């Protein structure tokens, strides 16, 4: 099969198209004919060597997110058959090769039937970011219904999904963005009001939107100083979700203590990395497909599309910060 | 009335006994004839000037914890009458004078009928630490039943209560202590097993007690490096409760992220400081009195007792770290 691989860490030019043996299906797994994948920040951070401990062995096939069609089913796999259209986040990590190839061997517990109403490309945009938002909002936070929830980076991968999931769960959703165009998108996704964080201070928007009381839940998707800004934006007894600890060496926690806050970190790769609790991700993706097909959730996909051979350019584009929503790649 | 006051921040010699006007009862409050109080670390930190923003105006009457008898009931107060024996944590902060006096004016929402089976001294040992442990375990943590819970500083004020409350809630409780005597006390309070943290590393006791999996919930009562040790002791997806952010300037959060942990800070003084949600504390103390009278919870009180005139010595004794459980003062 053809695969886009890396043989060393480096800039986006390290990708090479090579011929590799097609994986054989094994017990508990399915072989997927890959139709589409998407880029997540962790993918270019693995590629550039920021997280060598998260990289598959060389020659490494990167990317977790996949959508495609099952062409072989391993022993002991229930609920899937050849020809099923599926999606999931299922590789691109140590011991499990990724989606940037003609075929991907995937643990059947990690995948689910693709939403019927989505193309492969749009389905491939969802898994990693939706699982991340889901874990934060539904497995960590104590209550969403009726609460004021602030989502940072409204049109980012996790942000645009978190807006929709929080809204679906009955929260009153607010979102930050850097331009008026992105603020409009956030409103269409379900935000009651939006904040241009380049033009309005935390104190000002906390005053304007919450009468100075703060938000019950703040979803930081950026890390670094934005975690401390999230403490500032949170109400007493509030909850902050973060998915990025790496932006600063260390964090002052006095403001957290002073407001009796909770901080929840989400590290969505754990079931893959630990080979533990993987069926939970398949189950969530089944529910997500139901929400998508019911019109409650849709991926925001950047208008610029890429082929697998253009993965380097796709990485550069996402890393540039110019993309709106997810950057997807089709075969 | 006689009161032990401070007119400046300083060491334990700053206390002076003076004559002050007895407070007049006001709407929403009760006047308590004080029988006993207890020392909490925040009291000596207010006295020594560590937290000037938490101090009442000079001449300042410190101490939040109180037990005594109601001698006057303000307008609009339901559920209390003259002669009722009550307990609570109700002052020693800006705008609300404390318990180190013959009489204390207390917001009726903050207090509750004293447990019938306890003396005033033992009742006065409970409020601040029990409210702290309760908020951490029951208002922050997602689930306790059947989960492995590690309590740091088993015979400390918050620690000895947290052991009993977690056990009552169905958790499997473990506790750290510095001596074999304190380990024995922890077992009597309900700990299934104990750890001498001076003799066993985090990695070793995580291996011994949890087969290397970590604890589902860790209650840090110490702060500083013990917060990072608590991250180390926690299981993936675990929860750490802390009541002390001040031990270090800043904290590395990578280990928290890597395990998808939650960190909950508890700042029990907030209802008093903000004059918000105070009735919640009275309600918790009613439930606590029920638990005490049902034999499910008891205060651990150091054998050394002090009078109000000896409050300086009581502060020094608690601060020395030599006390076991709470240090109480009787009139």
pLDDT at B77: 98
* Residue B212, Cβ density class (10 Å: 0-12 exposed, 13-18 middle, ≥19 buried): exposed
The tens digit of pLDDT for each residue in B93-133 reads 999 999 999 999 999 999 999 999 999 999 999 999 999 99
State how far the alpha carbon of B163 is from the alpha carbons of A106, B118, B135, B224, B228, in Å: 44, 19, 14, 21, 21
> Of the candidates A109, A135, A134, A124, which has an alpha carbon nearest to the alpha carbon of residue A65?
A124
Alpha-carbon gap, residue B16 to A217, rounded angstroms: 46
Q: Do A252 and B257 touch (CB under 8 A)?
A: no
Give the nearest partner residue to B270 out of A250, A260, A265, using CB atoms.
A260
pLDDT at A228: 94
Alpha-carbon gap, residue B200 to B183, rounded angstroms: 13
Give the nearest partner residue to B260 out of A227, A237, A266, using CB atoms.
A266
Per-residue confidence at A247, pLDDT binned at 50, 70, 90? confident
Alpha-carbon gap, residue B186 to B195, rounded angstroms: 10
State how far the alpha carbon of B89 is from the alpha carbons of A270, B38, B132, B163, B282, in Å: 43, 10, 11, 21, 9
- CATH 3.90.180.10 residue window(s) in chain A: 2-126+272-330
Closest CA of chain B from A179, distance in Å: 30
Q: Tell me what the mean pLDDT of segment B273-291 comes to.
A: 98
When scoring A223, A224, A262 by the number of chain B Cβ atoms within 10 A, the one with the most, hence best to mutate, is A262
Say if CB A26 and CB A74 are below 8 A apart. yes
The CA-CA-CA angle for residues B235, A138, A190, to 5°, reads: 145
ipTM score above 0.95: yes
Token match 């945009």: residue? A125
Q: Which CATH architecture has domain A2-126+272-330?
A: Alpha-Beta Complex (3.90)
Alpha-carbon gap, residue A52 to A37, rounded angstroms: 21
Cβ atoms within 10 Å, residue B19: 9
> Of the candidates B79, B64, B95, B94, which has an alpha carbon nearest to the alpha carbon of residue B30?
B79
Cis geometry, peptide bond prior to residue B283 (ω within 30 degrees of 0): no
Q: Tell me what the mean pLDDT of segment A35-45 comes to.
A: 98
Per-residue confidence at B246, pLDDT binned at 50, 70, 90? confident
The hierarchical CATH code for the domain B141-265 is 3.40.50.720
**Which chain A residues touch B if contact means CB-CB below 8 Å?**
135, 139-140, 142, 227, 236-237, 242-246, 249-254, 256-267, 270, 274, 276
Say if CB A331 and CB A35 are below 8 A apart. yes
Q: Do A236 and B276 touch (CB under 8 A)?
A: yes
> Of the candidates B7, B29, B1, B3, which has an alpha carbon nearest to the alpha carbon of residue B17?
B3
pLDDT at A71: 98
Cis geometry, peptide bond prior to residue A146 (ω within 30 degrees of 0): no
Say if CB B218 and CB B233 are below 8 A apart. yes
The tens digit of pLDDT for each residue in B25-40 reads 999 999 999 999 999 9
Give the nearest partner residue to B262 out of A140, A236, A249, using CB atoms.
A140
Alpha-carbon gap, residue B256 to A242, rounded angstroms: 11
The hierarchical CATH code for the domain A129-265 is 3.40.50.720
Give the nearest partner residue to A257 out of B135, B265, B274, using CB atoms.
B265
pLDDT at A246: 84
> Of the candidates A248, A249, A259, A250, which has an alpha carbon nearest to the alpha carbon of residue A240?
A259
Q: Tell me what the mean pLDDT of segment B139-145 comes to.
A: 97
Q: Tell me what the mean pLDDT of segment A82-110 comes to.
A: 97
Q: Which helix (H) or strand (E) holds A71?
A: strand A65-73
pLDDT at B73: 98
DSSP-based three-state secondary structure for A134: helix
Alpha-carbon gap, residue B266 to A279, rounded angstroms: 34
Percent of chain B with pLDDT over 90: 98
DSSP assignment letter at A310: G
- pLDDT(A138) > 90: yes
The tens digit of pLDDT for each residue in A270-304 reads 999 999 999 999 999 999 999 999 999 999 999 99
DSSP-based three-state secondary structure for A86: strand
pLDDT at B217: 98
When scoring B241, B259, B262 by the number of chain A Cβ atoms within 10 A, the one with the most, hence best to mutate, is B262
Alpha-carbon gap, residue B150 to B171, rounded angstroms: 10
Q: Do B263 and A263 touch (CB under 8 A)?
A: yes
A26-35, A218-227, B142-151, B241-250: segment of lowest average pLDDT: B241-250
State how far the alpha carbon of A267 is from the alpha carbons of A128, A264, A272, B260, B300, in Å: 10, 10, 11, 5, 40
Burial A283-304 (b: 16+ CB within 10 A, else e): ebbeebbebbeeeebbbbbbee
pLDDT at A94: 96
The hierarchical CATH code for the domain B2-127+273-330 is 3.90.180.10
In this structure, what token pair is assigned to residue A49?
A: 């060597």
Residue count of chain B: 331
- pLDDT(B24) > 90: yes
In this structure, what token pair is assigned to residue A238?
A: 């509030």
Give the 3-state DSSP-derived string for chain B, with helices as H, strands as E and coil as C. CEEEEECCCCCHHHCEEEECCCCCCCCCEEEEEEEEEEECHHHHHHHCCCCHHHCCCCCECCCCEEEEEEEEECCCCCCCCCCCEEEEECCCECCECCCCECEEEEEHHHEEECCCCCCHHHHHCCHHHHHHHHHHHHHCCCCCCCCEEEECCCCCHHHHHHHHHHHHCCCEEEEEECCHHHHHHHHHHCCCEEEECCCCCHHHHHHHHHCCCCEEEEEECCCCHHHHHHHHHEEEEEEEEECCCCCCCCECCHHHHHCCCEEEECCCCHHHHHCCCCHHHHHHHHHHHHHHHCCCCCCCECCCCEEHHHHHHHHHHHHCCCCCCEEEEEC
Please state the φ and ψ torsions of residue B138, each to the nearest 5 degrees: -105, -15
pLDDT at B164: 98
B258: left (phi over 0), alpha (psi -120 to 50) or beta: alpha
Cβ atoms within 10 Å, residue B54: 17
- CATH 3.40.50.720 residue window(s) in chain B: 141-265
pLDDT at B247: 82
Specify the pairing of strand A172-177 against strand A148-151. Answer: parallel
- CATH 3.40.50.720 residue window(s) in chain A: 129-265
């Amino acid at each position: 099969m053809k695969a886009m691989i890396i043989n060393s860490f480096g800039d986006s030019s390290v990708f090479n198209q090579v011929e590799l043996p097609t994986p054989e299906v094994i017990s508990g797994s399915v072989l997927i004919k890959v139709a589409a994948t998407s880029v997540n920040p962790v993918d270019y951070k693995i590629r550039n060597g920021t997280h060598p401990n998260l990289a598959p062995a060389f020659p490494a096939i990167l990317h977790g997110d996949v959508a495609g069609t099952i062409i072989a089913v391993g022993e002991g796999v229930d609920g899937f058959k050849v020809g099923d259209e599926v999606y999931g986040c299922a590789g691109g990590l140590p011991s499990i090769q990724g989606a940037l190839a003609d075929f991907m061997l995937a643990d059947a517990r990690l995948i689910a039937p693709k939403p019927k109403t989505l193309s492969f490309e749009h389905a491939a945009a969802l898994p990693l970011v939706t699982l991340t938002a889901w874990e934060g909002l539904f497995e960590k936070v104590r209550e969403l219904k009726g609460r004021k929830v602030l989502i940072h980076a409204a049109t980012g991968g996790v942000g645009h999904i978190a807006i929709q999931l929080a809204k679906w769960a009955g929260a009153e959703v607010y979102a930050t963005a850097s331009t008026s165009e992105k603020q409009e998108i956030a409103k269409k996704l379900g935000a009651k009001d939006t904040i241009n964080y380049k033009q309005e201070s935390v104190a000002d928007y906390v005053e304007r939107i919450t009468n100075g009381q703060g938000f019950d839940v703040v979803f930081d998707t950026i890390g670094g100083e934005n975690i401390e800004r999230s403490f500032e934006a949170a109400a007493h007894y509030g909850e902050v979700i973060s998915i990025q600890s790496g932006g600063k060496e260390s964090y002052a926690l006095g403001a957290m203590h002073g407001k009796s806050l909770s901080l929840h970190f989400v590290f969505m790769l754990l079931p893959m990395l630990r080979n533990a609790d993987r069926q939970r991700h398949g189950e969530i993706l089944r529910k997500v497909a139901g929400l998508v097909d019911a019109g409650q959730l849709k991926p925001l996909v950047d208008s610029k599309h890429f082929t697998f051979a253009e993965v380097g350019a796709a990485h550069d584009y996402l890393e540039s910060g110019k993309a709106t929503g997810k950057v997807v790649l089709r075969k």
